[in-house]
Chains A and B, each alone.
Chain A
Amino acid sequence: MIWIVWRQHRTAIVSTAVLAVAIIVFLIAFGNGFFYRGGWYLDYVPLDPAWKLAPSALGLAVAVFWAAPLIGREYEQRTYLVAWGQDVSLHRWLVRKVLLLAAAAVALSVIVGVIAGGLVDQHTPSRFSFAAFEADPAIQAAHTLFGFAVGLAFSALLRRTLLAMGATLVVVLAAHGLYVVKLRERIIPRSTRSAHGKNPVTRINDRSQTVRGMSTAGMPTRRANRSRSPLRRRRNAGGPVPRPPRPSA
């Protein structure tokens, strides 16, 4: 079965692997920004935070090019009559194929997540910062599995390759956009400690930027500094917070 899956999907698998390598190379080269030669001076241009979603492109590619054509193409080209007409039952054929492809997709996304996470972690102390959270291997695997499930569902329901690919693209992008814009801020704790465990950090889910190697992640935000509470202001500034007096025995 491994040979069948490889033979049938090798173009998609190889293309996605090339995409994964491209993402890794991109992150290594321009992980946070790039130098721009403007005549005699060299300027540093930080990347737009949207580029930090690059690792998630892998999950989208898996959804659209692996999962969406999986069943629809068999129906369209009528090859299901060959594949499912053998001794191996449809259920076993489908389960084995889905498991193998999903395992390969998750492996690829975890590899990209590990490398991307490592690159991002060098600059952002918090694993809950936008870039670090998105590049986390577990998050990448979850994105990929979600996309795979959506693609497979559309493939089985619509039974048309292009239609399933289009629907998968729209739904996965919409779901990802909704998650990034709306849901992500709600599921991440509003206040947590930094990766170093020393400096208290507020609003970790801010869009941290790194300029000339200096990360702004973990720094108190302007909104936090506007706080009227002196206690909160001191906590936001990273200063010592006085403990409440203990009741005397």
Chain B
Amino acid sequence: MTTIAEKGFIQRVDGLGKRYGDTWALRECTFALKPGQVTALVGANGAGKSTLLTILAGLLPPDAGKVDTAGRVAFVAQDKPLYKNFTAAEMFRLARNLNAVWEQDRAERWLRTFGVRADRPCGRLSGGQQAHVALAMAVAARPDLLLLDEPLSNLDPLVRREVTAELLADSAESGMAIMLSTHVITEVSGVAENLILLAGGKLLLSGETDDLLAKHVFHVGPGSEVLVGDNRPPPDGWITRPATLEDIVLSNLASARDGGAA
């Protein structure tokens, strides 16, 4: 098996497509995920984020294109499914039995950090606590790539920040790449090094966030402002202001909707 160092990426996606009946949920997606990078997968509801992540996790076969995987992948699904009659400790035992690598200490430390009891059945834990059990299982398996489908949706704002910090620390320590999907752009601002923007199953935008921010500016004129992505000079009488990640995402989504991205 070719290693990540030889290939230079953990996963490379080439022309990926998935169809449900006559509808393409995902079309012509091409990108690569490199070690240690945090990638934000952004898109409106129904954009194809969960489909893409499920394919990357190897749980759904694509109908077009291919996925080249060089490392171990862990996946935390959107609704954080767990065996409801298993305790968190039993879920860890299950994961220990099914994974080649498992760090029990890391899993237990995660639960202690966020105050989740390991001896209660998962079905009796709150949504947020269940999310912690799922995240602890994924992190303790020490994957090369961690795929998280809206991981912060069940958590309160303070815990979101703490979870993000924990994940970033793990990524920095072990070189684990993270891809997290969200439709709340502020969650990933300042966190994600890469951005992948999906709309109607198509890849609208892909690249490093620093590059995207450097390229995109607003041209502000009398009564209007226009986002441009090629650093061209503003018209006479107009001024330029920097764009945020949210500006870039929202502007692209709006133009995709108005232009009929589907």
Contact = CB atoms under 8 A, between A and B. Distances in A.
Contacts of B137: 82
Contacts of A85: 57-59, 74-75, 77
A79 B57 contact: no
Interface residues of B, number: 27
B238 interface: no
Contact of B98 (A7, A81, A83): A83
A122 interface: no
A77 B79 CA distance: 10
A90 to B, nearest CB: 8
Name B's interface SS: loop
A191 B50 CA distance: 65
B83 A79 contact: yes
B116 to A, nearest CB: 17
A76 to B, nearest CB: 10
Interface in B167-189: none
B229 interface: no
A79 B74 contact: no
B84 interface: yes
A3 B58 CA distance: 25
B57 A87 contact: no
A44 interface: no
Interface residues of A, number: 18
3 smallest CB-CB distances across A and B, nearest first, come from A86-B98, A78-B81, A81-B77
B82 interface: yes
Interface in A207-228: none
A1 B95 CA distance: 11
B32 to A, nearest CB: 21
A3 B77 contact: no
B97 A84 contact: no
